[in-house]
Amino acid sequence: MSGIVLTKASARLSADIGAPEDIAYPGTIGLAVDATDVTRHVFRVKETIPVQGSALTLLYPKWLPGHHSPTGRIDTLAGPEIHAHGKRVEWLRDTVDVYAFHVDVPSGAKKLDLEFQFLSAGDGNEGRIVMTPEMLNLQWNSVVLYPAGHFVRQITFEPTIRLPDGWQLSATAP
């Protein structure tokens, strides 16, 4: 019989995530999405996260509105890189919660610059298709990492999107 072995280190990492509080996150997170790679079904994401302090846990959305289980598609997140002061910052995936990334913020850093990709399904066997050469259906929750410790409604984002040449933005009402 196989199982999961928890060590003090792995338990400590999950304990560091903490419960969210209903307080505003200081600053606005810049979120730039490049949706021009419709042939390969790749959204390229750049985020700028204002930081204070020496440690930060970033989360990928796990629980989504209207879903009754943790269905956030963490398996579609690829190539995360974090920089501060123009230098690469190492991050550590939580050993228990795969949706959490721990970052040691370098001394004096006021912001972290993140880059990663969201890999959309290319055919029906890979999941819901949200990008083809004819259309795209960007779901913002699939292209964001956000700081733990705050209710999501208390985090302000400033999103932008780059569309393929000749495409126009059309928002649909819920």
- Domain spanning 25-162, CATH class: mainly beta
The closest alpha carbon to 60, from 46, 42, 74, 81, belongs to 74
| Cα dihedral sign, 76-79-83-89 | positive
Q: Nearest 5°: CA angle at 61, between 155 and 107?
A: 55
Per-residue pLDDT tens digits of the chain, which is 174 residues long: 445 444 444 444 454 687 899 999 999 999 999 999 999 999 999 999 999 988 999 999 998 888 888 888 999 999 999 999 999 999 999 989 999 999 999 999 999 999 999 999 887 777 788 898 999 999 999 999 999 999 999 999 999 999 999 998 877 655
Q: HEC string of 109-169?
A: CCEEEEEEEEECCCCHHHCCCCECCCCECCCHHHHCCEECCECHHHCEEEEEEECCCCCCC
| CA–CA gap between residue 157 and residue 144 (Å, rounded) | 10
